[in-house]
Structure 1
């Protein structure tokens, strides 16, 4: 009889349990919509291609990766984002400043930044502003539904408020001569002022109204917020948050140094180094004649010495030159976005004049031709500036001096998976056949995770570039070589292959077979230097017409310490 009751109960509750399971599975696969401000650099903004980027955006993507959350990031006007989360159209705001009033409607994660506010004024304003109360009776520009808009309304401060959609709009309006002051977040304000070359405005007084800045959800969505808070804690404990912070804020912090004087000093040192290098070259040629009469072993040692001198001199020279190139390149990049806006704003007027009066000359050419060519010309300039920046970054990596921090425990499989995700678009555009075979029992190594990622990405991108068609495949495998006590990662491609005479030159700086495609020949050279600092090897095997194997080997112990 007891068994009969058990069977009846199981039949009764089984459909309910299955329905709950289906509901749970469905919630796991739900796309979480993450919203943010489309013009709040360097925290969150749209790049020149219209893709979400910035410090907060990268944190969101990394949290989604470590927590297994399926996300979609939408950036738009801040006031629209506030409306969207109220209506349930988005689930999370990836960057929102905390206030007691906002806490009545939102739940907040632990902060990942502190936002200070600044008052900007034109150069002809001499008054120092140190608090909101100092703005009484003034015409003040603020972002609509931003934290300062909220605080001013809450505190009932009597001033003439003018709201705009973005911080950039506030600064441009002030620079054009409208109103008295603009109250914006300090770092975005400085960033945008420099980007748009707004030289007639400046922050006045001290920063004030510091607020905690982090993720926010509508009240009642604590479970989702807990996942983002946990993911943020993981990024902080693993050092990944610090790395992302350094990427977005390191350059801004370092920019306070007098780079002009540094550049002049570097130029003088470079000239002296060139004279010294010239003397060394002459001396080495004389020495080479003597070495040729000696044994083969002495000759090999001399060649190694020449290479070391060459790399040391070249590294110092490149480091100085890279800074000098990057400054005008940044100016070009910042001004291009302004010119694009000018073109958009003036197109309607040009077209109206063209319709009413017929064709006319613009820049020495008929407008009927120029209106189609100008957008492409601006895009070409932007692409060129980005390419210069990439080359400068490669030069900086090549010229980097000082030892790496090799104290991090690194899982090479995890590095491979992250690297593959980062170049996923390149892979999809290059091949229909991409596969991985990663060993499950792979020992960890001591090293620098970011630098090893850089090596793996270079190897995968090179493999993609070696393919003649998308039918040719790429395979990434990992394994442990017990005999050598090394963890190995191989990137195999079915591409064109490499000439036997060129195999030994692959790690040489500035050697490339893709010069006509804009290749600099620094990627594998930088990778080789990183691998050597880890005590590993980077080897290549290739057969013309059949493909290439790049073999990265890293020891499981560094400086005698076994993991």
Structure 2
């Protein structure tokens, strides 16, 4: 009897063990396919409106570049999105966003009217700084006298925030100009070459320095946001969470992007006024002491002048690329 009781106990334990194993196998058979399905589920495709501007552009090899492009790609590391870029221009992108052909686009200033038609990201994606640019080798334009702009034709994206800023800036200084619509950098270059515009408004960037174009002044700045189709609250929530996470993990990320893409790095050029002065006055005459140790030393036998004064002259020439700049030392 005693052995019989032990046998029944062992059999009971075995039955329970088998049941437990079967239950575990059953659970695994359900859980593993779910996990596998999650891992192999396709990424959410997000359609991005892509219009050519300073924040988004394609280089000469056709590769996408820019502050906005790089920031969005970084945010996709948090969201897991896969992007489908849809090319459009300024007006087309708004239409495509509203009718659902695209889901998101960046670089948009906030307005109450727009907020009724689309969703804005909680936080700005950056800041736009607009400058007035011109070829300052012209003698009829001056950085010190804004009145020289009266009557001039200024290229600006009409109907956009940049034109609002330009208008407010002109009203502040009592200026009257003619606004001419421009669409992109190539359009600006063409209109400058054809004398259809005298100057233009564009975002902060060093691109124009390569063409001998300089800034006159900054006309305004504003925060810019991502905007989304009104029916894509799901994307907005994921985007806002990703932007907050990026800011917490890399608080200086957008500042570094600004330095990378927008830092003004101009080589100074002589303005038309300065060139006219040099033409009238000739060489710039600098007086020096014939024996001022470290600053200027004159050797009467060779006529050679040495010291920091010569370093200064070379520095001045280098800064201006030797643009018709001549110094004459007078002892």
Q: TM-score, normalised by structure 1?
A: 0.34
Shift of 1:113: 1.5
| 1:256–1:122 distance in 2 versus 1, CA, 3 Å | closer
Distance 2:240 2:82 in 1: 16
Matches within 5 A, 1:171-190: 171-174=189-192, 176-185=194-203, 187=204, 190=205
What residue is the counterpart of 1:192 in the other structure? Answer: 207
Q: What is the DSSP-based 3-state SS (H/G/I as helix, E as strand, rest coil) of the residue aligned with 2:187?
A: helix
Shift of 1:211: 0.7
What CA deviation, in whole Å up to 9, does each residue of 1:321-371 have, x standing for no partner? xxxxxxxxxxxxxxxxxxxxxxxxxxxxxxxxxxxxxxxxxxxxxxxxxxx
What residue is the counterpart of 1:162 in the other structure? Answer: 180
What CA deviation, in whole Å up to 9, does each residue of 1:83-112 have, x standing for no partner? 322332111112223344433433322113
Partners of 1:215 and 1:228 within 8 A in 2: no
Q: What is the DSSP-based 3-state SS (H/G/I as helix, E as strand, rest coil) of the residue aligned with 1:50?
A: coil
Partners of 1:92 and 1:216 within 8 A in 2: yes
Shift of 1:52: 1.9
Q: What is the DSSP-based 3-state SS (H/G/I as helix, E as strand, rest coil) of the residue aligned with 2:78?
A: helix
Pick aligned residue for 1:111 from 124, 133, 145: 124
1:249 matches 2:259: yes
1:38 matches 2:48: no
Distance 1:181 1:44 in 2: 23
Partners of 1:32 and 1:70 within 8 A in 2: yes
Shift of 1:250: 4.2
Shift of 1:236: 1.5
Greater relative contact order (Cα < 8 A, sep 6+):
2
Q: What is the DSSP-based 3-state SS (H/G/I as helix, E as strand, rest coil) of the residue aligned with 1:81?
A: helix
Pick aligned residue for 1:63 from 75, 86, 101: 75
Matches within 5 A, 1:41-440: 43-109=55-121, 110-123=123-136, 124=138, 125-128=140-143, 138-143=152-157, 146-149=160-163, 160-174=178-192, 176-185=194-203, 187=204, 190-194=205-209, 197-199=210-212, 201-205=213-217, 207-239=218-250, 242-243=252-253, 245-246=255-256, 249-250=259-260, 253=263, 255=265
Distance 2:164 2:117 in 1: 13
Partners of 1:79 and 1:145 within 8 A in 2: no
| 1:78–1:218 distance in 2 versus 1, CA, 3 Å | same
Shift of 1:33: 0.4
Distance 1:51 1:173 in 2: 26
| 1:67–1:171 distance in 2 versus 1, CA, 3 Å | same
Shift of 1:62: 1.9
Distance 1:74 1:245 in 2: 27
Distance 2:167 2:231 in 1: 26
| 1:101–1:30 distance in 2 versus 1, CA, 3 Å | same
| 1:38–1:252 distance in 2 versus 1, CA, 3 Å | closer
Distance 1:79 1:221 in 2: 20
Partners of 2:49 and 2:87 within 8 A in 1: yes
Q: TM-score, normalised by structure 2?
A: 0.55
Shift of 1:39: 3.6
Distance 1:144 1:117 in 2: 14
Shift of 1:192: 2.6
Partners of 1:113 and 1:213 within 8 A in 2: yes
Distance 1:105 1:130 in 2: 42
Shift of 1:57: 0.9
Partners of 1:96 and 1:213 within 8 A in 2: yes
| 1:171–1:86 distance in 2 versus 1, CA, 3 Å | farther
Shift of 1:137: 5.2
Structure with higher Rg: it is 2
Partners of 1:52 and 1:75 within 8 A in 2: no
Partners of 2:206 and 2:264 within 8 A in 1: no
What residue is the counterpart of 2:280 in the other structure? Answer: none
Shift of 1:78: 2.7
| 1:146–1:246 distance in 2 versus 1, CA, 3 Å | same
Partners of 1:78 and 1:166 within 8 A in 2: no
* Structure that is richer in helix per residue: 1
Q: What is the DSSP-based 3-state SS (H/G/I as helix, E as strand, rest coil) of the residue aligned with 2:211?
A: coil
Distance 2:113 2:166 in 1: 12
Shift of 1:143: 2.5
Q: CA RMSD in A?
A: 4.0
Aligned residues: 222
Shift of 1:178: 2.3
What CA deviation, in whole Å up to 9, does each residue of 1:433-487 have, x standing for no partner? xxxxxxxxxxxxxxxxxxxxxxxxxxxxxxxxxxxxxxxxxxxxxxxxxxxxxxx
